[in-house]
Amino acid sequence: MIPGVPIPAATVNLIGTVIAAVLTLCVFSYLLGIRALYRLALHILIGAGVAYAVIVALSTLYSRVWLRWIDASARGDMGLMGYLAFGVLLGVLLLFKISRRASGLGNISTGYLVGVGLGVAAGGALTGTLVTQSIATATFTGTSPAAFFIGLLGTLTVLISFTFTATWRRGPLKAVAQLVQGLSAAGRFFLYIALGTTFAGVYVASVSVLIGRVQFFIPLVASVLKYLGIE
C-alpha cells in the first residue's frame, strides 16, 4: 500500500477488517438512536463511492480514449481518431453545465446522450419487454386451464386497474364505469399479491445482507476474544 514500506497482506487485511467492522457498527448505531455515527458511516460510503467513481471514470477516459487515440494516431486511423475526437468534444461541452451562463453549450452533449439512450432503451423495451411479454401472456398455456385463466385474469385486471378516467356517473356509461371499477379492484388484488412478493424478496435480501455482516463479525469477535483470552 505504501510505496517502499513493506506491509504484510495480513496486516492490510486486518486493518481493512477493523475499519469495516467499525463502519458496520456505526451503521448499527442507528438502531440505538445514535444518528451521528450512522451519518458518518453513510457519508463515508457516499464519499468513497463517488471518489472511486471519479477514479474509474478517469481511468476509463485514459484507457478508452487516450490510449486508443495514441494507438490510432500511431496507426494513422483517422476514422478512429475522428470518432474519438467527437467523443472528447461532447465530453468537453458537457463540462459547461457547471456554469449557469454557458450551460447552454452542455445541452448539446446532454441532448446526444438522452437521445441515444432513449432510443436504445425504447427499442429494447419495445422488443425485449413489451412485445415479447405480451405475446408470452397471450400464448401462455401453463399446466392447467385454471392457471391460464388466473394468469389471463390477473394480467387484464391489473392493466385495467390503471384506468383512471372511467368516472362516469350518469347515463349508459355509468355501467361501463362500474364494470371498469370492479375489474380495477380485482387488478389491484393481483397488484397487492405482486407487491407482497416483492416485499418478501426485499426482506430476504435484507436479511441475507444482515447475515453476511454478522458472519463477518463473528470471526472478528472470536479473534478478539481469543486475543483477550476469552474462549
Partner 1 sequence: MTAASPEPKPSETHVVKKGLSLPTKPSGESPATGPAARARPTPPAPTPPPAQPATPGEADDWLSRLRGALPAEQPAEAQPPAGESVPDWLRDLEGEPSVPGAQAVTPVFDLAARLGGVEPSEPAPTPAEPEVPDWVARLGTPATTKPSAPIEPQVPDWLKPPAPAKLSAPAIPPVEPEAPDWLKPPSPAPTPAMEAEVPDWLKQPPPAPSEAEAPDWLSRLAPTPAITEPSAPAVSPAESEVPDWLTQLPSVPMAATPSAPAVLPVESEVPDWLSQLAPTPAAEEPSAPVESPDWLERLTPPTAIPSVPSEPEAVPSIESEAPDWLAQLSPLTVAPEPEVAPVAEPVEPGPALIGEQIPEPEETPAWLADMGGAQPAPSAPVLTEMPDWLKELETKPSPVQPESKAEPPSPFAEPVVLPTGETPAWLQELAPTEAAAPAAGVLAGAPMPPAPGEGGLVAAQLPSWLQGLGPKEPSAVAPPKVEEEPAETEGILAGVRGALPVAQIALQMSGVGISVSPEIPAGDLSRAGALQELLARGMTAVVRREGESRAGRMEGKVWRWIVLLLIAVAVVTPLVLGPDLSLVSAPSLSPMGNAMYDSIQKLAPGAQVLVAFDYDATQAPEMDVVARAVMRHLIARQAHIEVVSLYPTGPAVAQVMINNILPTTSTVKMDVTNRSYLPGQTTAVATLVTEARSKPLDMVIELAATPDSLRWWVEQMAGRPETLLAGVSASVEPVAQPYAANSQLKGLLAGVPGAVAYQLKLRGVLPQTEQQNPSDLLVPLNSIAVANVALVFVMIFGGVIQLLSGRGSPSGDGRRRG
The answer to whether 186 and 157 have CB atoms below 8 angstroms apart is yes
Q: Enter the C-alpha cell of residue 172.
A: 349508459
Q: Kindly state the smallest distance separating residue 101's Cβ from partner 1, in Å.
A: 28
Rank residues 165 and 215 by Cβ distance to partner 1 and give the closer one. 215
Which residues of the shown chain bind partner 1 in the complex (CB under 8 A)? 30-31, 35, 38, 45, 49, 52-53, 56-57, 59-60, 63, 116-117, 120-121, 124-125, 127-129, 132-133, 136, 194, 197-198, 201-205, 207-216, 218
Q: Which one, 20 or 105, has the nearer CB to partner 1?
A: 20
Smallest gap from residue 171 Cβ to partner 1 (A)? 32
Alpha carbon distance 177, 74 (integer Å): 71
Strands (E), the chain: none
Question: Do 106 and 121 form a contact (C-beta atoms < 8 A)?
Answer: no
Handedness of CA 18, 23, 24, 30 (dihedral sign): positive
Rama region for 201: left / alpha / beta (φ>0; ψ in -120 to 50; rest): alpha
Using the minimum distance from each CB to partner 1, give the nearer residue, 70 or 211.
211
Alpha-carbon gap, residue 53 to 44, rounded angstroms: 14
CB of 89 to partner 1, least distance (A): 17
Q: Which is nearer to partner 1, 166 or 220 (CB)?
A: 220
Q: What distance in Å separates the CA atoms of residue 188 and residue 158, rounded to the nearest whole number?
A: 6
Q: How far is the CB of 179 from partner 1 (least distance, A)?
A: 26
How many Cα atoms within 13 Å fall on the side-chain side of residue 30? 9
Judged by beta carbon, residue 102 or residue 121, the one nearer partner 1 is 121
- Shortest distance, position 26 Cβ to partner 1, whole Å: 14
